Amino acid sequence: MKTRYTVGSLVLLIIFLGLGVFLLSGFDKSRHIVALNEIVSGGPPKDGIPAILFPDFVKGAQANRFMLPDDRILGLTLNNQAKAYPIKILNWHEIVNDKIGGQAVVVTYCPLCGTGMVFNPKVEDKILTFGVSGLLYQSDMLLYDHQTESLWSQIKSQAVTGDLIGTMLQLLPSVQTTWKEWLEKYPETRVLSTNTGYTRNYERDPYQGYYKSRELYFGVNRKSDLFHPKERIIGIQMGSRAKAYPFSELAKVNSPVQDKIGNRKIVVSFDRGSQTASIHDTKGNELPAVVGFWFAWFAFHPETEIYKGKI
């Protein structure tokens, strides 16, 4: 005997199946500010890439046991304290929930986009902690907070689903540089150790070969051929205006570069040897900026201005 469905029952079935899809990945995406078909699985399930909740640190001299001079780190200074987070550890964990100078921070790194971004996790007088969702938006990692399980876009710095939808995280200044450069500048630095509580070969780069390839593992809506997709840039957003400073363009001129975004004057510094870029205001205060791959910056900032160095 054939089952007959009325239009109403079909609608209810579609809604039921749809809600099942929303909840299937472990997150309620019934409320969202990005297109759901643009949220994709990166492969590992929720927490399949384990965030670090209780980080262990060593002194700079001790870190030389597992750090080489040219190893890349994500560096952070706050309240007269300095910490370094080796990229070769972040490649395997992507998120470190931490405190520095008495302030809570969440350190994030998306290997697919090359973006290391540090946030103040305080939202509505509550300190959030974060995990790796296993999901991506525009090839960029989606974090989730343990308190509400809202999904957060790293590059947008914003919750895109869940109870905290639309909420922004405060981006803090950080720098991507070499271990040698950082240690010389901050000899008292603390360094995230390989004693993470997980068994990983931190000397093996799971993304080796990806950085030079023009291919992306996951699609993005907007692309630009002005630069190699993995060209490193430092980008900054001020109000509604965004500007990218490609490393290849900064290498053409003497550092620092005096520039303006709208009416605001900024100073962009670039060291060719260590491939280190930072942006300051005219008083010397470091400004929150994003170092990452060109394709990722353009995917989120298609209207971006672009700095061109003079040969």
Q: Which pLDDT value is given to residue 267?
A: 98
Q: Which pLDDT value is given to residue 29?
A: 83
Per-residue pLDDT for 22 more than 80? no
Q: Taking the C-alpha atoms of 145, 146, 147 and 151 in order, what is their torsion angle to the nearest 10 degrees? A: 30
Q: Which residue has the tokens 């997150």?
A: 27
What are residue 267's DSSP bridge partners?
A: 258, 280
Q: Give mean pLDDT, residues 104-124.
A: 97
Q: pTM, whole model, 2 decimals?
A: 0.90
Sequence-separated (6 or more) residues with CB below 8 Å from residue 142? 39, 133, 135, 136, 151, 152, 153, 154, 160
Q: Which two tokens stand for residue 104?
A: 């809570």
What is the chain's length?
Answer: 311
Ramachandran bin of 153, using left for φ above 0, alpha for ψ from -120 to 50, beta for the remaining angles? beta
Band of pLDDT at residue 28, cut at 50, 70 and 90: confident
Per-residue pLDDT for 36 more than 50? yes
Q: Which pLDDT value is given to residue 311?
A: 61
Spell out the domains of the chain, with CATH numbers in brackets: 36-192 (2.102.10), 232-306 (no CATH)
Q: In this prediction, what percent of the chain has a pLDDT beyond 90?
A: 87
pLDDT tens-digit series, residues 170-219: 999 999 999 999 999 999 999 999 999 999 999 999 999 999 999 999 99
